[in-house]
Amino acid sequence: MRSFTSVEHRIDERAHRYLDDAPASGIRSRLIEFAVFGLKQAWACIFGAALLAVILAGRLWYPDEAALARNDFLTLAAVVIQILMVVTRLETVRELRVIVLFHLVGTVMELFKTDVGSWTYEAEGFLRIGAVPLFSGFMYAAVGSYMVRVYRLFDLRFARYPRRWVTAIVAAAIYLNFFTHHYIFDVRWVLLAAVVVIFGRCVMHFRVFRRKFRMPLVAAFLLVALFIWIAENIATWSGAWLYPSQLNGWHMVSLDKLGAWFLLVIISVVLVAWVYKPEPPEQSEEDTGTAAVPAVTAER
């Protein structure tokens, strides 16, 4: 398994003290696998969950008359969260480099999208570039944080992962289309079809506790996009940003946005794959699909 951070290693050791004697089969075993899966997912989302909690708290409790604008408060809180993630060794320096890249890629997109009116932020605070408060980049960084953390927490392996140079071309085309579709024909449906063709044969293998499972990679993309869409609804309700149709009253974000988030997930995966080269599963996993790990210590 890919190495944990020092904090995660201690958590892993303590968890195994309680779980090593658990039954290896039956309903209780399945319930344990499900619980561990949920806990690992929650741990992978810790950066995004903390940022979303701050955004929600800002909506519910931050005073309107405060000397520090709410957007500036959110930016400073995001910086503190990121520092704590590194100082407490919840993220490695190597992962931080990937997250900073997500931050930069997202901020560039934010500057353009707000300029063309795709969405808007409250015009307040000093910690912003143009109409974009600096905390917005941390929302993309949260996606990057989840991607790099889930990669090692679940020891992800990929059968028939496409060539990385091909995925890089697709990701670049997706990113470019986020800008160019305002001026020329929107090719997102062509890009979605290309993603299905290129990644359609790829199967993701992941370890939860004792067992390893597999899932079509495209299905994993869609699930991540769905959870981002849910978080987006919470963030827009909190007033972090608003789409034009929400300016006269909040309503749920259109399901059409799922396609945009799906494509953004592709960019995220490709960026992470250039730092953590996708590795194939062991031959036994490829043959059986789901395999019990004979010895937990051998996988740790």
DSSP string, 128-171: EETTEETHHHHHHHHHHHHHHHHHHHTT-EEETPPPHHHHHHHH
Which candidate, 66, 74, 76, places its Cα nearest to that of 238?
74
Name residue, tokens 């480099």.
Answer: 97
More confident of the two residues 20 and 75: 75
Which candidate, 211, 218, 205, 219, places its Cα nearest to that of 157?
205
Question: Over the chain, what is the mean pLDDT?
Answer: 88
Residues 289, 208: contact at Cβ < 8 Å? no
The fraction of the chain above a pLDDT of 90, given in percent, is 64
Residues 270, 168: contact at Cβ < 8 Å? yes
Please compute the mean of the pLDDT values over residues 27-52 and round it to a whole number.
90
Name residue 128's beta-bridge partners: 133
286 pLDDT band, cuts 50/70/90, is low
Token duo for residue 20: 């090593």
Which candidate, 230, 297, 298, places its Cα nearest to that of 19?
297
- Three-state secondary-structure class, residue 22: coil
b/e per residue 201-215 (b: at least 16 CB within 10 A):
ebbbbbbbbbbbbbe
Please compute the mean of the pLDDT values over residues 235-249 and round it to a whole number.
93
Which candidate, 269, 22, 64, places its Cα nearest to that of 170?
269
pLDDT at site 12: 79
pLDDT at site 284: 59
pLDDT at site 64: 85
Q: Examine the pLDDT at 296 and tell me if it is beyond 60.
A: no
274 pLDDT band, cuts 50/70/90, is confident
d(C-alpha 241, C-alpha 163), whole Å: 37
Residues 188, 137: contact at Cβ < 8 Å? no
Name residue, tokens 């900073």.
Answer: 100
pLDDT at site 300: 33
d(C-alpha 5, C-alpha 16), whole Å: 16
pLDDT at site 243: 95
Residues 179, 70: contact at Cβ < 8 Å? no
pTM equals: 0.86
Please compute the mean of the pLDDT values over residues 235-255 and round it to a whole number.
93
Token duo for residue 299: 């996988």
pLDDT at site 285: 54
More confident of the two residues 98 and 113: 113
Q: How far is CA 60 from CA 3, 57, 78, 240, 241, in A?
A: 39, 5, 17, 12, 15
State the alpha helices, DSSP H only, in 62-92: 70-87
288 pLDDT band, cuts 50/70/90, is very low
pLDDT at site 2: 58
- CB count within 10 Å of CB 97 equals 12
**Tens digits of per-residue pLDDT, 149-186?**
898 889 899 999 999 999 999 999 999 999 999 999 99
pLDDT at site 216: 96
d(C-alpha 147, C-alpha 145), whole Å: 5
Instruction: Tell me the residue length of the chain.
Output: 300
**Tens digits of per-residue pLDDT, 44-86?**
999 999 999 999 999 999 998 899 999 999 999 999 999 999 8
Name the phi and psi angles at 23, rounded to 5.
-60, 145
* 22-36, 94-108, 158-172, 173-187: least confident range: 22-36
More confident of the two residues 292 and 117: 117
